[in-house]
């Protein structure tokens, strides 16, 4: 039985476990703490910045993959030099770890992006504001996720603290035009080491304070699907991605589709696939990193809706409200991540599928509100 080692023990590693069990694949998880979401599969707790610890872990598995993108590239390169199979490898993963590296590569591939620029000084930001303001988006190239490391800026003072600590972010900041978009989208795909590629239907995402709150699959605007698929294929092949990749996109008001960000791992926008696709993103990721044939990605209903359960306070873990929600909405699939409650934290998600999109959204939101105890 092949064994997959997952670095990181959050909810993504947790949701790989049922897929691994179904496929007869072993799974081991390297965690950074004892109270992780994927605690059932944790075999080692340690420091992801310690090469010796990661190498020791890697010797017990056939391939290394990830729950997050925060392992330093230099350490991943050392693992590969030591003969460890790392998928996706550091050559691809660096584009998800550093947003400026991503922007430069996408420009090289000729793919559509917002207007952007690297910045090191106040004058760099002032010039970009003058040309593309009155508001721009400033991002830290490394370390940001779920809205962290992103600011909408109208004055240099808004990011002066980042400039003063710019060495923490790789010595540069990323400046982007503030896109006038009407829809946020995500294109999920998977690629194997042998180059096999498959993708799920394009989805529409709704954000709340920079965090994904809802996903509609497939995105209702069917005319956008071919272009999004083409973009994902070009990125996947151009970067040599192995495993699942999410391409987050804007549909601008002028009709353009622009690449926002990349993730090279299973992604929040693909959680619907557990219950509403022939092959879930978690099963597909395991297939891909082991170079097994990829599974079909078509949906099992006309529509699926995923509703994120975001923490509302420091006490409500939603479990105590399960009975009333389950009684009223027996058609809903419930997924909890065993995380300590905290406002805004991703605590779990709900999935619904069927033929009436408006009804699915209404039922999902009502079920969420019951769990929130509203």
Q: Do 188 and 279 fall into the same domain?
A: yes
Q: Do 193 and 81 fall into the same domain?
A: no
For residue 248, the enclosing domain spans: 181-371
Q: Do 216 and 233 fall into the same domain?
A: yes
Residue 97 domain-assigned (yes or no): no
Instruction: Determine the pLDDT at residue 145.
Output: 64
Residue 109 domain-assigned (yes or no): no
Q: Do 257 and 241 fall into the same domain?
A: yes
Q: What CATH number corresponds to the domain at position 283?
A: 3.30.470.20
Q: Do 11 and 125 fall into the same domain?
A: no
- Domain boundary among the residues 129, 161, 177 is at 177
Residue 100 domain-assigned (yes or no): no
Residue 101 domain-assigned (yes or no): no
Q: Do 307 and 319 fall into the same domain?
A: yes
Q: Which DSSP category does 299 fall into? A: B
- Domain boundary among the residues 123, 154, 177 is at 177
Instruction: Determine the pLDDT at residue 209.
Output: 85
Residue 252 domain-assigned (yes or no): yes
- Nearest CA to 51 out of 32, 68, 31, 76 is that of 76
Q: Are the beta carbons of 155 and 191 closer than 8 angstroms?
A: no
Residue 94 domain-assigned (yes or no): no
Ramachandran category for residue 303: left, alpha or beta (phi over 0 → left; psi -120 to 50 → alpha)? beta
State how many domains the chain has: 3
CA angle 218, 219, 223 (to 5 degrees): 110
Q: Do 219 and 197 fall into the same domain?
A: yes
Length of the chain equals 374
Question: Using CA atoms, how far apart are residues 64 and 66, in angstroms rounded to an integer?
Answer: 7
- pLDDT means per 10 residues in the chain (374 residues)? 96 98 97 93 94 97 96 96 97 96 97 97 96 96 77 94 92 96 97 97 94 96 95 98 98 94 97 98 98 98 98 96 97 97 96 98 98 92
- Nearest CA to 12 out of 275, 236, 286 is that of 286
Say whether the peptide bond before residue 37 is cis (omega within 30 degrees of 0). Answer: no
Please name every residue paired with 138 in a beta bridge, in sequence order, or none if there are none: 151, 175
- Domain boundary among the residues 126, 143, 177 is at 177
Instruction: Determine the pLDDT at residue 170.
Output: 87
CA angle 8, 11, 16 (to 5 degrees): 80
Q: List Cα–Cα distances, 311 to 146, 189, 272, 308, in angstroms.
A: 14, 29, 19, 10
- Burial environment of residue 226 by CB neighbours within 10 A (0 to 12, 13 to 18, 19 or more): exposed
Q: Do 153 and 244 fall into the same domain?
A: no
């Amino acid at each position: 039985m092949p064994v997959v080692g997952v670095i990181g023990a959050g909810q993504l590693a947790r949701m790989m476990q049922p897929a691994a069990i179904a496929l007869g694949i072993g799974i081991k998880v390297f965690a950074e703490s004892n109270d992780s979401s994927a605690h059932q599969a944790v075999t080692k707790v340690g420091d992801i910045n310690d090469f010796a610890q990661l190498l020791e872990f890697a010797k017990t598995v056939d391939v290394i993959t990830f729950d997050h993108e925060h392992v330093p590239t230099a350490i991943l390169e050392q693992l590969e030099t030591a003969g460890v199979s790392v998928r996706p490898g550091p050559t691809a993963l660096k584009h998800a770890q550093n947003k400026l590296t991503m922007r430069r590569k996408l420009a090289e591939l000729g793919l559509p992006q917002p207007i952007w620029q690297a910045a090191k000084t106040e004058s760099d930001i002032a010039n970009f504001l003058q040309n593309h303001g009155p508001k721009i988006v400033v991002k830290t190239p490394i370390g940001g996720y779920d809205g962290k490391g992103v600011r909408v800026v109208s004055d240099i003072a808004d990011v002066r603290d980042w400039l003063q600590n710019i060495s923490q972010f790789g010595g540069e900041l990323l400046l982007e035009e503030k896109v006038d978009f009407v829809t946020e989208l995500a294109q999920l795909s998977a690629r194997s080491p042998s180059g096999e590629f498959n993708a799920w239907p394009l989805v529409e995402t709704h954000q709340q304070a920079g965090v994904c709150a809802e996903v509609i699959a497939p995105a209702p605007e069917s005319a956008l699907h071919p272009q999004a698929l083409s973009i994902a294929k070009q990125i996947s092949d151009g970067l040599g991605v192995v495993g699942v990749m999410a391409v987050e996109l804007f549909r601008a008001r002028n009709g353009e589709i622009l690449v926002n960000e990349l993730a090279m791992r299973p992604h929040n926008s693909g959680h619907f696939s557990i219950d509403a696709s022939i092959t879930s993103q978690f099963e597909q990721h395991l297939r891909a990193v082991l170079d097994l044939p990829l599974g079909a990605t078509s949906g099992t209903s006309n529509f699926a809706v995923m509703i994120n359960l975001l923490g509302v306070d420091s006490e409500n873990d939603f479990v105590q409200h399960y009975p009333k929600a389950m009684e009223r909405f027996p058609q809903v699939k419930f997924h909890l991540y065993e995380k300590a409650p905290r406002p805004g934290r991703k605590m779990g998600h709900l999935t619904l599928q069927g033929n009436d999109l408006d009804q699915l959204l209404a039922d999902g939101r009502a079920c969420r509100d019951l769990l929130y105890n509203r």
